[in-house]
Structure 1
């Protein structure tokens, strides 16, 4: 995929570390916002399940539409970055997200399941544009050996957003709706469903305002651009290299895809799971607050993982965390009550370092192919769309049993850490340079 570059024909000059520090601080706010907006879905889904009287398959289809956007929007996003530049693309992504948030207000006013799906796709497309640019940017602007540590550190801000979003959603969506505060099993009248649909208007008004303000700030901030040395390799040079000779990328793409199935399945079915009488017997509003602990564990894990990876190889840390995730998912499936609930919560800690670590291991040694490899890894986020498979398993075999799918996903991550992530055909790493 094309790398974000500055003005055509301008020769890049090295940028001081302090300049990148300021840029990364601002980019951290983007990581925060897209994490926040993504996880609002975890409280939005049980809300919509109640409003539209959906089964688990229909409910998880909402999240599938969200992640399908990553598949369809990744390549157009890269081409847009190539055409208008890195900074304008960030602003465009934020405005696309704001447009989708405003569209959610329309969907709530109707209310319409179909319009809701379309607007969530629009928001996710804006997030995809941000992801295609920001993740490889963070990964390549420092020493390659600390790329996993650096991306884990910035992704911790993403986790801060995911930790706060459930509180926001539980209070402003579930807490202000009849379905969110009712006991499990209560059937709402048509009038109550229509009233509940209106509860998403205020949250998405607030989200739209914040996104527009952030877009204005980004537009006015002197962000450093990616230098010419990390732009796409010349066509003649590209003929000498192949992405598919790099084992860490070939196995890293399905690793991202499979990891997203695990993460999104846990997050989206969490509220429904812990609300069950034999687990915690909570209302959806109460369960939404416990979701904060799941995402809080992910934030703590990323800060800790960033420090640990300064001394221990990223592959080793990833292997240990995948084993931990596998164990707690088995506990979730084969126990009940608070033990099952807290086991599911604890998987957030073990999932914490997986995405940024797999991402940086996947692009390690790609040299001039880094941008194309990054694009493929971002496209693999579409794996979250297969959460609908877990929804089907939940409808067929029961919600608790469906988490066996998550446990199987953890085993592939272990395989990747132990063997798949080993670098083959390593090329010289690109250097980051240049400011606008």
Structure 2
């Protein structure tokens, strides 16, 4: 039996004393990569509105392509990881991610919207494999009781990617020099090269073969027998998991909607702020607080129930969105980027709470929770349509409703 499992290095030790710190660090690089890729979308959204002269609702097809890829690839990713293991699933995801990134180059030559959407869809298929593998993998790289803390700590690196994405994207895409289409190729070719290098590192590094179906009370043989009996329909027996899928849908919907139209909102309520300045506010203000929230959240969960903390953060974001919808100039802008701090723990906490206790169904459950990010494909289009008809401030009623759902999830007494 492991003692003091929430203190010091024991957070990364297996039930037989194995040290999982280095594998954890390596997996953290994946969180950075998809954070960067997702954050770059928030800049792309505004950039496509400018260079293609399209409406806010149509520009939201950027999110539809990415999160639609998550929905399509969700179940296949779970099956791949279930059959071939975490390591091969991660390498496969990295290779698909790289292919999608390199597709941006021919898309910049064609100069129409569809090729960019196809490239983003391919990237999403790769990211789905990475998230389906990496999220549950972090929860089993040590004692089960500290799983929520580990996934929040790993997601802190995701926050670093969210900072650098709009910062570098804004500098490259909103500069007044050069071809605006050609500028799109530079960040994605760079991403593709980095992703391939990380894929090589994963191939050459031995990783512990851990089944997410294992727990401290099961032997390896017992866990293997349970894994053979794993079925998707068994997940219907777990009410907390089902609610977690719903909550994750609404979280990603709200977070994506905020990110997609952050720049549009800022320049609407403060016309004196440029696109480049708005992207910098997003990077340092919103995403900076997002990363701080992830790191501090992982620490707070050492002493505070993750689900209750989730409910408190969701309630605060409901109140912040009320001020955002009121459109009070800089006060509302501040509330908008402060909301990133309280969004920070939501995705990993909902994920960890949702898969807890699933045992042999963990990989399948993980793939379905990842599929729930399809909320990010639908809601930005709704927000864009509301903004085109009314105003951008009115559109932020949508994420307000999303945070209400998460608040209810945090208060629920359901169990798996």
* Residue 351 of structure 1: how far off its partner (Å): 0.3
Q: Give the SS at the match of 1:145.
A: helix
For the residue of structure 1 that corresponds to 2:396, the secondary structure is helix
Matched, 1:255 2:239: no
Q: Give me the whole-angstrom Cα distance separating, in 2, the residues matched to 1:311 and 1:280.
A: 44
1:373 matched residue in structure 2: 365
Name the structure 2 match of 1:137.
137
CA separation in 2, counterparts of 1:84 and 1:235?
13
For residue 181 of structure 2, give the secondary structure of its aligned residue in structure 1.
helix
Deviation at 1:236, TM superposition (A): 8.1
CA contact (8 A) 2:71 2:372 kept: yes
- TM alignment of 1:29-68, pairs within 5 A: 29-68=29-68
Deviation at 1:85, TM superposition (A): 3.4
What SS does the corresponding residue of 2:103 show, helix, strand or coil? helix
Give the gaps of 5 or more residues in structure 1: 1-12, 179-194, 425-436
Q: Distance in 2 between matches of 1:200 and 1:275?
A: 22
Deviation at 1:222, TM superposition (A): 1.1
Distance of 1:210 and 1:67 partners within structure 2: 22
Partner of 1:279 in structure 2?
Answer: 270
Whole-Å separation in 2 of the counterparts to 1:110 and 1:202: 16
Equivalent residue for 2:201? 217
Contact 1:301 1:353 in 2 (8 A): yes
Runs of 4+ off more than 4 Å? 13-16, 231-239
Between the aligned partners of 1:238 and 1:92, the Cα distance in structure 2 is 23
CA distance in 1, matches of 2:64, 2:192: 22
C-alpha contact (below 8 Å) 1:279/1:340 kept by paired residues: no
Alignment check: 8 A CA contact 1:104 1:204 kept: yes
Deviation at 1:78, TM superposition (A): 2.3
Report whether the alignment pairs 1:197 with 2:170.
Answer: no
Structure 2: 5+ residue stretches without partners:
1-13, 215-222
Superposed CA RMSD in Å reads: 2.1
1:291 aligns to 2:282 (yes or no): yes
Residue aligned with 1:400, SS: helix
Distance 2:68 2:82 in 1: 23
Kept after mapping to 1: 8 A contact 2:136/2:212: no
Structure 2 residue matching 1:281: 3-state secondary structure: coil
Q: CA deviation at 1:211?
A: 1.2
Q: Count the aligned residue pairs.
A: 393
Whole-Å Cα distance in 2 between the matches of residues 177 and 235 of structure 1?
Answer: 56
Kindly provide the CA deviation profile for residues 248-302 of structure 1, in whole angstroms up to 9, marking residues without a partner as x. 11111110001111000000100111112x3253111111111111111111111
In 1, Cα distance between equivalents of 2:119 and 2:347: 26
Question: Following the alignment from structure 1 to structure 2, what is the Cα–Cα distance between the partners of residues 260 and 268?
Answer: 12
The 2-side partners of 1:201 and 1:324 are apart by: 39
Q: Distance in 2 between matches of 1:16 and 1:153?
A: 21
TM-score normalized by the length of structure 1: 0.85
Q: Given the two structures, how large is their TM-score scaled by the length of structure 2?
A: 0.89
Instruction: Assess, with a 3 A threshold, how the Cα gap between structure 1 residues 16 and 172 changes in structure 2: closer, same or farther.
Output: farther
